Amino acid sequence: MSLRLGDTAPNFKAETSSGDIDFYEFLGDSWGVLFSHPGDFTPVCTTELGRMASLNEEFEKRNVKILAVSVDSVEQHTGWIKDINETQNCTVEFPIIADEDHHVAELYGMIHPNASETHTVRSLFVISPDKKIKLTITYPASTGRNFIEVLRVIDSLQLTANHSVATPADWKHGEDVIITGAVKTEDAHQRFPKGVKIVKPYLRYTPQPNVD
C-alpha cells in the first residue's frame, strides 16, 4: 500500500512494549509520529530511539505522540529498551510496536522489497489530529534520521494549518514566513499587522504570526 500526503492514516490494533493499543485511541486529539526500524539490537536504530527519547519533551510541547515500529517481539523490545537507555543516556517512554506479522509494516508500506523482503526501511509518518498523513520520510536502513528536521517540519505544519502562510527553505521557528498566493497584496497588510515585505508580487514575507 502506498500512502500519500492527505490520505487518511490507517487505524490498527497492536501489541506494544507498553501494552495493547488502538492507534486512533492512542493518538486521541494529538498529532502523531509513527516511525519504523529494521530490527531490534541494531546500532543505528539504537541511536534513533535514544534521540527520540531525549527529544520527547519537545514533541510533548507540540502535542505530538511518538510510536515506534519494529518487526521483533515485545520481549525483545524490553531488552532492547534497557540497552537504549544505558547506551544513549535516556529513558524510552513511548511504545514500540511488536509487528512480528508485519501487519503495520504492510499497512503503511514500510517494507520495500528491493531493499529487504523482511525488514522495514526507515519510514516516518507525521499524522495530524484529523488522522491525515501530513509528512512521509523514508531513509535507507544505513542512514539514521534527523529528528530535529522532524520537529522543524511539525512546527511548519502546525503554523501553516492555522495561518495563510508557507515556510521558506531552511526556515526555523521564529523566522519570517511567506504569505501564500491566496492572500491579495492589498489585504496582506491588514491580515498581517506585523508587516509585509514585498520582494516580488509573488514573494512576500511577514514575521511569524503566532509568536510574540
Residue by residue, pLDDT tens for the chain (212 residues) are: 579 999 999 999 999 999 999 999 999 999 999 999 888 899 999 999 999 999 999 999 999 999 999 989 999 999 999 999 999 999 999 999 999 988 998 899 887 544 444 455 578 999 999 999 999 998 887 889 999 999 999 999 999 999 999 999 999 999 999 999 999 999 999 999 999 999 999 999 999 998 87
Reported residue count of the chain is: 212
> Right CATH number for 13-144 from 3.40.30.10, 3.90.1640.10, 2.40.40.20, 3.30.70.1400?
3.40.30.10
Domain ranges of the chain: 13-144, 163-206
Alpha-carbon distance 128 to 29, whole Å? 9
CATH code for residues 163-206: 3.30.1020.10
pTM, entire model: 0.92
Query: What's the confidence (pLDDT) of residue 2?
Result: 79
Cβ atoms within 10 A of the Cβ of 75, count?
11
Query: What's the confidence (pLDDT) of residue 110?
Result: 82
Topology alike, domains 13-144 and 163-206: no
The grid coordinates of residue 15 equal 501489541
Query: What's the confidence (pLDDT) of residue 142?
Result: 83
Query: What's the confidence (pLDDT) of residue 121?
Result: 58
Query: What's the confidence (pLDDT) of residue 111?
Result: 72
Signed CA dihedral, 84, 88, 91, 95: sign only = negative
Query: What's the confidence (pLDDT) of residue 112?
Result: 54
* Residues paired with 8 in a beta bridge: 132
Residues with a catalytic annotation lie at 45
What is the SS3 string spanning the chain?
Answer: CCCCCCCECCCCEEEECCEEEEHHHHHCCCEEEEEEECCCCCHHHHHHHHHHHHCHHHHHHCCEEEEEEECCCHHHHHHHHHHHHHHHCCCCCCCEEECCCCHHHHHCCCCCCCCCCCCCCEEEEEECCCCEEEEEEEECCCCCCCHHHHHHHHHHHHHHCCCCEECCCCCCCCCCEEECCCCCHHHHHHHCCCCCEEEECCEEEECCCCCC
